[in-house]
Chain A
Amino acid sequence: MIILGIETSCDETGVALYDSKKNKILSENIFSQAAKHALYGGVVPELASRDQVLKLLPMVKLTLSESGKSSDQIDAIAYTKGPGLSGSLLVGASFANSLSLGWSKPCVGVHHMEAHLLVNLLEERSPQFPFLTLLVSGGHTLLIKALEIGEYQVLGQTRDDAVGEAFDKVAKILGMNYPGGPEIEKIAKKGNPNSYNLPRPMLNKKNLDFSFSGLKTAVLYVVKKKKLPLSKDFKADIAASFQAAVAETLVERCKSALLQTGDTQLVIGGGVASNQYVRKRLQKGLQGIDIFFPNLSRCTDNGAMVAVAGYHRFNNESSFSKSIEIKPRWDLSELNK
């Protein structure tokens, strides 16, 4: 089966073609890449970041031509039905349903978070069900147990800020541009992670939830006591201390979750998984556990994950969408049978 996946739940516009027989993505584009290909005749107009209407058509054309497939070779279309921003979701949903009508191919709406979980199945070394997933990004901090396709248990989540969000906001507090998460990692290399004693929020609690807002505020208090401009050494030390607090919290939470569920496989997804320090701490702290770090381009929002999830949804229930349907608010647990 060849499936076209379309992702427009928030900031990104992602399009991909998935061949289920080969379990391979034939071609894919995320907006920034598409811009490089000078789709707009070499001139990229000043588009607002969510101008997804203008982006989609040229991106689908490009993805098709890169794969060498024509529209009649496509078996189905998958789009993100939710959760997300209703305006953004509607663009993808109406576009997918229009293609479906025009091409006479079935169309299915998928759950954004399920797509994030199932994209792991694309990897050469992929986990076997059941497995545990830690999803850490600018928008999510989730510990999910995937029992099988369509059967998920959210074990823990953030009660305030997402991990990536905390990174970005601490960067801003230190005078860097938003979002500056990756800059924290860079500057922290020169700092001492033990120089400031920052809180490890929630670690005293028995549940598996996270909280990073208090940690961000703790950094703010330390910064407020300093005279401006902040010195480079200070920034390095506070960034390193912050990063260490985050890493320790993630390691401890994963440890408790693994103990609780008895799982031995852990998938770490999301943009924060690209932080090498966090990676090392997780590998060191969770010895004996089979840890999977999926391809980074698949960690952030993309069309490939939607195509893969769409394929599994067709397999499972062949729920052909009959109307343009979106669900801006949609709990993952609602998918369970």
Chain B
Amino acid sequence: MRSFQLKTQDDSETKALGFYIAQDFLNLKKGVLSVLFLSGELGAGKTVFTKGFLKGLGYKGMVKSPTFSIVDIYEINNFTVFHFDLYRITSPVELLEIGIEEYLEKKESLCIFEWPERAEQLLPFPDLKIEIKLTEVQENNSRIIKFMTKLDLKTLR
């Protein structure tokens, strides 16, 4: 497990970073990245990053916050991305009711979890863990983005 840290200046850079990480992912062996954790406080930019990421995977439609729906599903060239937001989950049991195993077991798919802390004991160990943090107040839109992974992602080299 290695750890990397990058700084983005604004939303568009955070989105672009998501885009490039996704492009790196497309060059990896199939199945090495199937679980991604995305942490950060409200307003940190988790959904912004995911928008860029899905665009990098080739998704052309709109990517919304899944807070209400808990999971949004994106189909991209026979590949499925499940974009979870566990913010509203109060007990891990709820995830079982939602049928979390079925999502995790699906082949040719990737599960992105925002707020994974809410049910960590039920989730598999992530192949890529990303933490987004706000910097000092004076630099409003910039973010520190920390990556933890075993994978060889070109953007992080």
The chain A residue with its CB closest to the CB of B51 is: A160
Q: Are A159 and B97 in contact, CB atoms less than 8 angstroms apart?
A: no
Interface status of A169 (Cβ within 8 A of chain B): yes
A160 touches B47 (CB 8 A): yes
Task: Tell me the residues in window 160-213 of chain A with beta carbons closer than 8 Å to chain B beta carbons.
Answer: 160-162, 164-165, 169, 172-173, 178, 213
Closest B residue to A83 using CB positions: B69
A167 to chain B, nearest CB (A): 12
Question: Interface range on chain A: under 10, 10 to 19, 20 to 34, or 35 or more?
Answer: 35 or more
Are A49 and B90 touching (Cβ within 8 A)?
yes
Residue on A nearest B41 in the bound complex, by CB? A220
Q: For residue B68, which residues in chain A have a CB less than 8 angstroms away from its CB?
A: 10, 138-140, 162, 164-165
B67, B69, B90, B137: the one within 8 Å of A224 (CB): B137
User: A182 CA to B29 CA in the complex, in Å?
Assistant: 48
Complex contacts, A139 vs chain B, CB 8 Å: 68-69
Chain A residues within 8 Å of B99, by CB: 86-87, 90
Q: Are B94 and A49 in contact (CB under 8 A)?
A: yes
User: Could you tell me the distance between the alpha carbons of A254 and B65 in the complex, rounded to whole angstroms?
Assistant: 22
Asked if B69 and A85 make an inter-chain contact with CB atoms under 8 angstroms apart, the answer reads yes
Residues of A within 8 Å of B70, CB to CB, are 10, 85
Find chain B residues with CB under 8 A from A159 CB.
62, 64
Q: Could you tell me if A86 and B134 are in contact, using CB atoms closer than 8 angstroms?
A: no
Which chain B residues in 83-115 approach chain A with CB under 8 Å? 87-88, 90-91, 93-94, 97-99, 102
Cα A219 to Cα B99 with chains together (Å): 35
B98 and A87 form a contact (CB under 8 A): yes
| A224 neighbours in B (Cβ, 8 Å) | 134, 137
Whether A158 pairs with B94 at a CB distance below 8 angstroms is no
Min C-beta distance of A202 to chain B, whole Å = 13
A85 contacts across to B, CB distance below 8 A: 69-71, 98
In the complex, what distance in Å separates the CA atom of A216 from the CA atom of B67?
A: 14
Q: Which residues does chain B contribute within 8 Å of A157, judged by CB atoms?
A: 62, 64
- Please tell me if B73 contacts chain A, counting CB pairs below 8 Å: yes
Does chain A have a CB within 8 A of B140?
yes
A284 neighbours in B (Cβ, 8 Å): none
Chain A residues numbered 77-123 whose CB sits less than 8 Å from any CB in chain B: 83-88, 90
Would you call B48 an interface residue if the criterion is a C-beta within 8 Å of the partner chain's C-beta atoms?
yes
Interface check A51, CB cutoff 8 A: yes
B154 shortest CB reach to chain A, Å? 28
Q: Tell me the complex Cα distance, A173–B94, Å.
A: 25
Residue with the greatest number of chain B CB neighbours at <10 A, chosen from A10, A87, A164? A87
Residues from chain A with Cβ under 8 Å of B48 in the complex: 160, 213
Chain A CB within 10 A, most for which of B68, B70, B75, B102? B68
Of the A-B pairs whose beta carbons lie under 8 Å apart in the complex, a sample of 14, sorted by A's number, is A48-B91, A85-B69, A85-B98, A138-B68, A161-B67, A162-B64, A162-B65, A162-B67, A165-B68, A169-B67, A173-B43, A220-B134, A221-B137, A224-B134
**Footprint of B on A, CB under 8 Å?**
10, 48-51, 83-88, 90, 138-140, 157-162, 164-165, 169, 172-173, 178, 213-214, 216-217, 219-221, 224-225, 328-329
Name B residues whose Cβ lies closer than 8 Å to a Cβ of A: 11, 42-43, 45, 47-48, 51, 62, 64-65, 67-71, 73, 75, 87-88, 90-91, 93-94, 97-99, 102, 134, 137, 140
